[in-house]
Chains A and B, each alone.
Chain A
């Protein structure tokens, strides 16, 4: 009885939430904006150093967001690693050694690495960029991990720390350097904007892939003595 009552209450709350949302979306959709953001962006695109508007927003006009975002990612990665039982990384029995997967990998991993490189390079003038490339890179890392290819750099140590913090520290370094040289925080010098953006995107790709992969690997893995802990 209480269960039914709870479901009914929650349903009512959710319907109220939904109707409030729909009403406000309808209202916002009917009004017109005083600021035309796309036109503003198109007018200033030449100053940003890249041709793709999304990349221009991410790494030039709103780069503060991206800086904080990679900071959040690094914190999430560090927290995930510190929770994990890292000793299980070295246990070869916990790796899947599926021959079919291994054969598939020999085709797929080079292709995904190539795709990640292309996405990173394409980000400056067409859809693509650091996040897509990082996600593809992390996916190929997950595939390699599942196939039992040893990845020593994921063990706790200098390489892991360096990989996790590389993107954030380079980004922060560029931001502070531009602030120290008389400009504002995160304001790139216009003649170097494209080079800086591509460089930042490259290290961001590595760091994003590293964070995602580290989080995937660091899920605590079952012990044989504890059967109720599910598969890895």
Chain B
């Protein structure tokens, strides 16, 4: 048991906290944060586990570095999409299709028509 294994276990804990939030929270931005938490947990597991087995290992570190950059770009794209969704529909969460089966007819037209 080295401290590095503790990092990997903390990464596992972060993953499940993120999963909890990702399933339960309906606000899209908070959902995105929870999803990022899961991603950070995965990075921690990768680096910690490799370091536990054979000391500092540049290969998983490089892969995690790649992953971090992709995660940043994906998060930024998700924020752009969420803002666009909010701009068009005025909602901060995805509505449950089971609760209101007929989707509101064209939230975009309804909201953008007055100033066009």
Judged by a CB distance under 8 angstroms, whether A32 is at the interface is: yes
How many A-B Cβ pairs are below 8 Å?
137
Q: A173-213, CB under 8 A of B: which get 1 and which 0?
A: 00000000000000000000000000000000000100110
Number of interface residues of B (CB under 8 A): 47
A68-101, CB < 8 A from B? 69, 72-73, 76-77, 79-80, 83-84
Contacts of A26 in B (CB 8 A): 5
- B62 pairs with A37, CB closer than 8 A: no
Chain A contacts to B: CB under 8 angstroms = 6-7, 10-11, 13-15, 17-18, 21-22, 25-26, 28-29, 32-33, 36-38, 41, 53-54, 56-58, 61-62, 65-66, 69, 72-73, 76-77, 79-80, 83-84, 129, 131, 134-135, 208, 211-212, 215-216, 218-220, 222-223, 225-226, 228-229
26 residue pairs from A and B, CB less than 8 Å apart = A6-B24, A10-B20, A10-B23, A17-B16, A18-B16, A37-B57, A38-B56, A38-B59, A41-B58, A53-B58, A57-B59, A57-B62, A57-B63, A65-B63, A73-B70, A80-B80, A83-B80, A131-B69, A135-B69, A135-B72, A212-B72, A212-B73, A218-B80, A219-B79, A220-B84, A223-B115
Q: Knowing that A15-B16, A72-B74, A80-B77 are A-B contacts, what are 20 other residue pairs whose CB atoms are under 8 Å apart, sorted by A's residue number?
A: A14-B17, A17-B15, A21-B45, A25-B5, A25-B45, A28-B49, A28-B53, A37-B54, A37-B57, A38-B55, A41-B59, A54-B58, A57-B62, A72-B70, A76-B74, A76-B76, A80-B76, A84-B84, A228-B90, A229-B87
